[in-house]
């Protein structure tokens, strides 16, 4: 058996087209949608991600302001920058890049992001609202997982799903979104005993671990659907998923590729959230 590739490219193109149309309307109405990206790191993969957001934003007609406070910024300085952006009516979305300088806690910092502008669902209050079924932006990556499954017509209701990873950026919010779709979700992590037994019992496996090739064929039941969130830099400047596509592809029914799967949908959703935030402000006056 050779697994079907669940591409994210077409879905990302659809989301970007819809986003560009709404961005053009907002711009014509004198409210150009604007995303502020706060950076406090010299990390190369973070810099790559920021450049890819800026490129995608430009194509969609969304303004992207990168505010680099430097890799030695103190917590008070970072929080102060976020508070200033909350108060700036010309800014509709705010994201804070990780990693942060040593000793600065990402969750603490994200508490300073206004929930209405929290387009990557980083504020713990956004995660709480998501869990409680209240309106909030989900982290773009977590939403991308469900969106890509929906796009390819994969049923979630009632099905056993293994979510491998419990980070606040991906695993926990994705588990909530999957639960909202009536999946029966098991959340796994580094202390999970016999991970392969748990993932083999699932019909849908989502891997957000950060270990290239961790999920091999013996972790997957024949006919399962596998979503690979991992974006692990390879030595030669490429990207490797958390799933060993060569072996899993022979067992699974369907698998999201890396690159070309969850990644492009993530960036498209981040911009979509930004125009939603801008439109909401307009609706409120």
Ligand X SMILES: NC(=O)C1=CN([C@@H]2O[C@H](COP(=O)(O)OP(=O)(O)OC[C@H]3O[C@@H](n4cnc5c(N)ncnc54)[C@H](OP(=O)(O)O)[C@@H]3O)[C@@H](O)[C@H]2O)C=CC1
Ligand Y SMILES: Nc1nc(=O)c2c([nH]1)NC[C@@H]1CN(c3ccc(C(=O)N[C@@H](CCC(=O)O)C(=O)O)cc3)C=[N+]21
List residues forming the annotated binding site for NADP(+): 165-167, 231
Number of residues that bind ligand Y (CB under 6 A): 17
- Is residue 100 involved in binding ligand X (CB under 6 A)? no
Q: Rounded CA gap, 68 and 274, in Å? A: 20
Q: Rounded CA gap, 195 and 264, in Å? A: 28
- Is residue 140 involved in binding ligand Y (CB under 6 A)? yes
Q: Rounded CA gap, 209 and 228, in Å? A: 9
- Show contacts with ligand X in window 254-283 (CB under 6 A): 262-263, 266
Among 26, 169, 183, 227, contact with ligand X (rule: CB under 6 A): 169
- Show contacts with ligand Y in window 84-113 (CB under 6 A): 98
Give min distance, CB of 117 to ligand X, in A: 20
- Is residue 8 involved in binding ligand X (CB under 6 A)? no
- Is residue 3 involved in binding ligand Y (CB under 6 A)? no
Q: Using CB atoms within 10 A of its CB, is residue 2 exposed (0-12), middle (13-18) or buried (19+)?
A: exposed
**Is the bond preceding residue 259 a cis peptide, omega within 30 degrees?**
yes
- Residue 232 interacts, among ligand Y, ligand X, none and using kind-specific CB cut-offs from 5 to 8 Å, with ligand X
- Is residue 249 involved in binding ligand Y (CB under 6 A)? no
φ, ψ (nearest 5 deg) of residue 162: -100, 120
- Is residue 189 involved in binding ligand X (CB under 6 A)? yes
Among 104, 138, 170, 198, contact with ligand X (rule: CB under 6 A): 170
List of residues contacting ligand Y (CB under 6 A): 49, 52, 98, 120, 122, 140-141, 169, 231, 239, 258-260, 263-264, 266-267
- List residues near ligand X by CB under 6 A: 141, 164-167, 169-171, 188-192, 195, 208-211, 214, 229-232, 262-263, 266
């Amino acid at each position: 058996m050779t697994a079907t590739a669940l591409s994210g490219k077409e879905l990302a193109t659809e989301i970007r087209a819809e986003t560009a149309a709404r961005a053009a309307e907002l711009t014509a109405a004198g409210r150009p949608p604007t995303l502020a990206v706060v950076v406090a790191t010299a990390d190369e993969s973070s810099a790559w991600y920021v450049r890819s957001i800026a490129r995608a934003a430009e194509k969609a007609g969304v303004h992207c302001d990168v505010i680099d406070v430097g890799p030695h910024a103190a917590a008070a300085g970072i929080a102060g920058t976020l508070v200033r952006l909350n108060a700036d009516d010309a800014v509709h979305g705010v994201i804070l890049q990780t990693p942060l300088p040593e000793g600065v806690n990402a969750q603490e910092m994200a508490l300073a992001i206004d929930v209405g502008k929290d387009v990557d669902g980083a504020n713990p209050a956004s995660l709480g609202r998501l869990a409680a079924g209240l309106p909030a932006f989900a982290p773009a990556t977590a939403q991308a997982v469900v969106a890509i499954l929906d796009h390819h017509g994969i049923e979630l209701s009632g099905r056993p799903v293994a979510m491998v990873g419990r980070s606040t950026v991906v695993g926990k919010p994705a588990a909530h979104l999957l639960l909202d779709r009536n999946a029966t979700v098991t959340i796994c992590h580094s202390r999970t005993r016999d991970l392969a037994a748990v993932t083999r019992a699932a019909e849908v496996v989502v891997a957000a671990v950060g270990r290239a090739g961790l999920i091999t064929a013996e972790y997957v039941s024949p006919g399962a659907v596998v979503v690979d969130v991992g974006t692990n830099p390879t030595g030669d400047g490429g990207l490797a998923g958390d799933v060993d596509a060569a072996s899993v592809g022979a067992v699974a029914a369907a698998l999201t590729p890396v690159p070309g799967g969850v990644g492009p949908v993530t960036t498209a959703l981040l911009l979509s959230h930004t125009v939603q935030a801008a439109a909401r402000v307009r609706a409120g006056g």
